[in-house]
């Protein structure tokens, strides 16, 4: 082979290699693009809800209130009856079936929506006001275009009569899309239109806080001891191997551990984010110890020597110099470990955080769900309304993960740049 | 040279043997180092001179596989006695390393760290005074007095090394060990450090490891020649470089090996 041939061959090999790299990057981007597109196109609808405008007559006669109403009088109002009367007025429904069909166009919670509105706006008593009531999920899906109306009535969720009302309301401009506050404030529900991820978000938040409080100090101390103080012998080698093994153990095994120890032996309350957090902490510990050790190892030995040479004790040299210098690495390792814990589902299923919880948890001791488990729960639901909610939950989860990972990158860069 | 007062022995090693695992690094080292003098240790790479000075402040303790036999006495007290506290020893024996290693903190904190942990200088004013004095004695004060809050790592290599010297003298040691302090510096910075060493020997006893024979001649009063973990010849610097008694020393200083 001549020199020219060799040169040509080398150049084409380099070109090929570059092409392979570009193809792989493009393939990866394509998959991310498909995922993001699917999740966004399905989930963005969940952030708005369909609402139907009612004209409420808040006169005292209609509300059955005396001239000077007391607090008790307000509580005695039959809000269901009051709301129902107004709903039945928007479209002529004669038979019981028609009345029922008209009422089921509204969220099953319409009574409470009207009640909350009146009780928090007592100054409007005596006036006529417009009020928007959340529509039922089926009408919501119809309005968002997720249901087709060109199929026979018996296969449709919305009856012919309901369609007539819908068209009438559209013509009257009484149907609108408004921001879905329930998505963020409510817990789970059987009715998609009032189901929210507020409970799941708080559950996830409590779990992650518990996980952070338990795992970070233990992991940091373990890493510092193993890296700086422990003698190098067979026993510490054994521990090191086991930490690496633990980091690779499937997360569901930690769920079994939580179930067996925390719930059965210590009898901690089931389905709570406290237990979830402890279980996640067990899982996260080795995953934080490893990056902590790596960042401690990366601190140059000359810094330790410098501190020792001016007469710092071993503990002083580690605490005053090595640990602060390793902080960017330990922090970003911790945050990435927590981000993994945030997305973890399997261990939480085993300790009962998969329960159907309507109440939004107030403390880590209350039963709750978590974001990934909520995705799992809703993805199994039959109602069309839960499909967009599932994707919206995934969007929130991805949002939190991206935020946490960005914080990790930012923390690392900011603290490292400071001195070097 | 004034022999009458400079001959008090500060450091004395008796049959010092040092091992790294199975490998013996130093063989029966007997050496006396005089107070308020600069003693230079020369010899080819790997001859054990750095190992020796790291024994004087027990820096080798942090190396797990390092083991030693024999004695090193400072002021006639064996520093390897079980009762000796390493932290107090290192307060008395400061060290400057081959590569400048300032802490990644401010210049002020670099110098005040030692006094702080040893409880020297109770108030902020005391500390300020110590920092100023130490930096002045390290001939760095005029260059950094307006930017004490800047990171020590932002200084040039020579300034960093003088900062490390200031850090070492901030705790009022009696001895300063220097492990090739100029090997990472340019000639101008080297000249400044050498000038400084000459000044510092009035207060401190200095042991310096160096690869540069010219430097040994310039700064030291006494020179020890190490080879293969053994001390071959010790004498006044003048004698070692003008009339070495040992052939190996002769060969080394004339550049025939090493």
- The pTM for the full model equals 0.85
The answer to whether residue B92 sits within a structural domain is yes
Contact by Cβ (8 Å): B94, B175: yes
The answer to whether residue B131 sits within a structural domain is yes
Choose among A231, A305, A312: nearest Cβ to B117.
A312
Mean of the per-residue pLDDT values of chain B: 90
Q: B141: buried, middle or exposed (CB in 10 Å: 19+, 13-18, 0-12)?
A: middle
Q: What SS3 state is found at B46?
A: coil
Q: Which pLDDT does position A150 carry in this prediction? A: 85
Contact by Cβ (8 Å): A164, A102: no
pLDDT tens per residue, range B110-143? 999 999 999 887 788 999 999 999 999 888 999 9
Q: Do B102 and A306 make contact, defined as CB atoms within 8 angstroms?
A: yes
Q: Which of B81, B35, B80, B82 is nearest to B56 (CA)?
A: B80
Structure tokens at A192: 């998609």
Domain count of the fold of chain B: 1
For the domain that residue B39 is a member of, what is the CATH number? 3.40.50.300
Residue B97 Cα, gap to closest chain A Cα (Å)? 8
pLDDT tens per residue, range B188-197? 889 989 999 9
> What is the pLDDT confidence band of residue A418, given thresholds at 50, 70 and 90?
low
A310: phi then psi, degrees, rounded to nearest 5: -90, 10
Q: What SS3 state is found at B182?
A: coil
The answer to whether residue B94 sits within a structural domain is yes
Contact by Cβ (8 Å): A284, A251: no
Q: How far apart are CA A163 and CA A139, in angstroms?
A: 9
Q: Considering only alpha carbons, which residue of chain B is nearest residue A322? A: B103
Which ipTM did the prediction report?
A: 0.89
> What is the pLDDT confidence band of residue A417, given thresholds at 50, 70 and 90?
low
Handedness of CA A261, A264, A265, A269 (dihedral sign): positive
Q: How far apart are CA B35 and CA B226, in angstroms?
A: 21
Residue partners of B119: CB distance under 8 A and separation at least 6: none
Please tell me what DSSP assigns to residue A361.
P
Q: Which pLDDT does position B1 carry in this prediction? A: 43
Q: Do B167 and A306 make contact, defined as CB atoms within 8 angstroms?
A: yes
pLDDT tens per residue, range A192-217? 999 999 999 999 999 999 999 999 99
Q: What SS3 state is found at A37?
A: helix
Q: Do B113 and A307 make contact, defined as CB atoms within 8 angstroms?
A: yes
Q: With 80 as the cut, is the pLDDT of residue A416 above it?
A: no
Contact by Cβ (8 Å): A254, A344: no
> Which stretches of chain A sit within 8 Å of chain B by CB?
231-232, 300, 302-314, 316, 320-321, 325, 418-420
The answer to whether residue B258 sits within a structural domain is no
> What is the pLDDT confidence band of residue B2, given thresholds at 50, 70 and 90?
very low
Q: Identify the domain containing residue B169 by its residue range.
A: 3-253
The answer to whether residue B236 sits within a structural domain is yes
Q: With 90 as the cut, is the pLDDT of residue A147 above it?
A: no
User: Looking at the domain A198-417, which fold is it?
Assistant: MetI-like fold (1.10.3720)
CATH 1.10.3720.10 boundaries in chain A? 198-417
CB contacts < 8 A (A, B): 69
Highest mean pLDDT among A18-22, A231-235, A259-263, B97-101 belongs to: A18-22
Starting at the earlier edge strand, list the strands of the sheet with A175-179: A128-134, A48-57, A175-179
Contact by Cβ (8 Å): A206, A274: yes
> What is the pLDDT confidence band of residue B3, given thresholds at 50, 70 and 90?
very low
% residues pLDDT > 70 (chain A): 99
**Cα-based angle A50, A56, A61 (whole degrees, multiple of 5):** 155
Q: How far is CA A275 from CA A280, A349, A373, in A?
A: 8, 12, 15
Tokens 């769920």 sit on residue: A255
Q: Which pLDDT does position B4 carry in this prediction? A: 43
> What is the pLDDT confidence band of residue B6, given thresholds at 50, 70 and 90?
low
Provide the phi-psi class of A414: left if phi over 0, else alpha when psi is between -120 and 50, else beta: alpha
Q: With 70 as the cut, is the pLDDT of residue A183 above it?
A: yes
Q: In this predicted structure, which of A129-133, A167-171, A409-413, B92-96 has the lowest mean pLDDT?
A: A409-413
CB contacts, 8 Å: B103 with chain A: 303, 306-307, 321
């Amino acid at each position: 082979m001549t020199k020219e041939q060799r040169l040509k061959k080398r150049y084409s090999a380099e070109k090929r290699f570059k092409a392979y790299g570009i193809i792989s990057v493009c393939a990866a981007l394509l998959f991310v693009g498909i995922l993001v597109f699917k999740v966004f196109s399905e989930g963005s609808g969940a952030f708005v809800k369909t609402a139907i405008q009612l004209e409420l007559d808040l006169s005292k006669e209609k509300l059955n209130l005396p001239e000077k109403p007391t607090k008790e009088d307000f509580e005695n109002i039959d809000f269901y009856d009051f709301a129902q009367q107004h709903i039945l007025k928007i479209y002529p429904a004669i038979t019981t079936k028609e009345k029922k069909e008209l009422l089921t166009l509204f969220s099953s919670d319409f009574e409470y929506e009207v009640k909350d509105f009146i009780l928090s706006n007592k100054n409007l008593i005596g006036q006529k006001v417009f009020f928007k009531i959340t529509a039922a999920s089926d009408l919501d899906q119809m309005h968002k275009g997720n249901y087709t109306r060109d199929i026979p009535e018996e296969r449709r969720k919305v009856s012919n009569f309901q369609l007539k009302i819908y068209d009438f309301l559209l013509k009257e401009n009484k149907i609108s899309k408004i921001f879905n506050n329930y998505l963020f404030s409510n817990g789970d529900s059987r009715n998609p239109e009032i189901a929210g991820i507020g409970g799941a978000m708080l559950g996830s938040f409590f779990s992650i806080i518990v996980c952070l409080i338990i795992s970070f100090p233990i992991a940091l101390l373990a890493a510092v001891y193993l890296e700086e103080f422990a003698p190098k012998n067979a026993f510490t080698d054994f521990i090191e191997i086991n930490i690496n093994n633990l980091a690779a153990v499937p997360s569901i095994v930690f769920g079994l551990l939580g179930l067996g120890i925390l719930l059965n032996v210590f009898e901690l309350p089931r389905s709570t984010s406290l237990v979830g957090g402890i279980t996640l902490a067990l899982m996260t510990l080795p995953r934080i110890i490893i990056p902590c050790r790596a960042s401690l190892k990366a601190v140059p030995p000359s810094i330790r020597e410098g501190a020792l040479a001016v007469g710092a004790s071993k503990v002083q040299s580690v605490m005053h110099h090595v640990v602060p210098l390793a902080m960017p690495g330990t922090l970003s390792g911790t945050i990435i470990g927590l981000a993994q814990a945030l997305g973890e589902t399997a261990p939480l299923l085993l300790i009962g955080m998969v329960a159907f919880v309507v109440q939004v948890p107030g403390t880590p001791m209350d039963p709750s769900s978590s974001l990934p488990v909520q995705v799992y729960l809703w993805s199994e639901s039959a109602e069309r309304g839960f499909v967009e909610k599932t994707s919206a939950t995934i969007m929130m989860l991805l949002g939190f993960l991206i935020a946490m990972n960005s914080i990790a990158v930012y923390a690392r860069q900011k603290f490292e740049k400071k001195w070097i | 040279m004034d022999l009458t007062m400079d001959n008090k022995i500060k450091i004395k090693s008796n049959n010092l043997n040092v091992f790294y695992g199975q490998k013996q690094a130093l063989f029966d080292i007997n050496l006396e180092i005089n107070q308020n003098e600069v003693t230079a240790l020369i010899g080819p790479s790997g001859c054990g001179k750095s190992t020796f000075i790291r024994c004087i402040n027990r820096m080798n303790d942090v190396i797990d596989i390092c083991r030693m036999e024999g004695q090193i006495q400072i002021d006639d007290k064996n520093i390897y006695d079980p009762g000796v506290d390493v932290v107090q020893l290192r307060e008395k024996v400061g060290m400057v390393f081959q590569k400048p290693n300032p802490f990644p903190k401010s210049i002020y904190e670099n110098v005040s760290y030692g006094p702080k942990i040893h409880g020297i200088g109770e108030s902020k004013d005391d500390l300020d005074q110590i920092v100023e004095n130490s930096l002045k004695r390290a001939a760095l004060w005029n260059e950094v007095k307006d930017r004490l809050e800047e990171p020590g790592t932002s200084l040039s290599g020579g300034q960093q090394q003088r900062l490390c010297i200031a850090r070492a003298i901030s705790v009022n040691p009696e001895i300063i060990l220097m492990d090739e302090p100029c090997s990472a510096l340019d000639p101008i910075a080297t000249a400044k450090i050498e000038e400084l060493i000459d000044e510092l020997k009035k207060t401190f006893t200095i042991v310096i490891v160096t690869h540069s024979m010219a430097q040994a001649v310039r700064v030291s009063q006494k020179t020890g020649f190490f080879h293969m973990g053994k001390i071959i010849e010790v004498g006044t610097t003048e004698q070692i470089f003008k009339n070495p008694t040992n052939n190996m020393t002769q060969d080394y200083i004339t550049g025939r090996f090493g």
